Amino acid sequence: MGKLTIGCFASLVGSTNLDFAVKLAGAALDKGHKVDLWVSGNGTMLSLQEQRAFKDYSYLEKPVKELMEKGLNVTACEACAEARGYHDSNTLEGVKRFSMDWYLGSTFDADRVLHIGGE
């Protein structure tokens, strides 16, 4: 089985790129692949806890929690998060926070890297 590294810089609300990234991560995990998901820039919004589900907006807290239980490795850019007021105290349990070199480190042994830039 392979390793997929996904980098997503798009916000949780305002685009469906993060939805796509999370669905792709789930599909890859189901096939037995290892998946690292890096969120940076506005993508760090994914790391926030207590997201509220509305029918008109993307809501990914529940699927991300379920995927993390299956082995999805989610890491948020710490500086990008802090700049937006997303702190350790309001980060979804299980989501890690590191600096940007973590993403590059993850690409080192990745079989594929899918980078989805921001809006």
Partner 1 sequence: MATTKLGFIVQRPGYKSENPKLALTHAIASQSVEIYLDDDDEVTCDVAFVGEGVLNCIKDQKALDNYQFNSTESHVKMGLLCDLNIFICREDLEKYGMSESDIVLNAEEMGGDMDVKVVPYEEITKMMEEMKHLLFF
**Cβ closer to partner 1: 54 or 108?**
108
Q: Tell me how far, at minimum, the Cβ of 48 lies from partner 1, in Å.
A: 18
| 40: contact with partner 1 by CB under 8 A | yes
C-alpha–C-alpha distance, residues 79 and 107, integer Å: 20
CB-CB contact of 78 with 99 (8 Å): yes
Among residues 4, 6, 11, 87, the alpha carbon closest in space to that of 46 is found at 11
**Residue 29 makes contact with partner 1 by CB under 8 A:** no
Does 107 interact with partner 1 (rule: CB under 8 A)? yes
Contacts of 85 (CB under 8 A, 6+ apart): none
Q: For partner 1, which stretch binds (CB under 8 A), given 27-35, 53-61, 66-74, 95-103? A: 95-103
Number of residues that bind partner 1 (CB under 8 A): 24
Q: How far is CA 73 from CA 38, 54, 69, 111, in A?
A: 8, 26, 9, 16
Residues that bind partner 1 (CB under 8 A): 7, 9, 40-42, 80, 99-110, 112-113, 115, 117-119
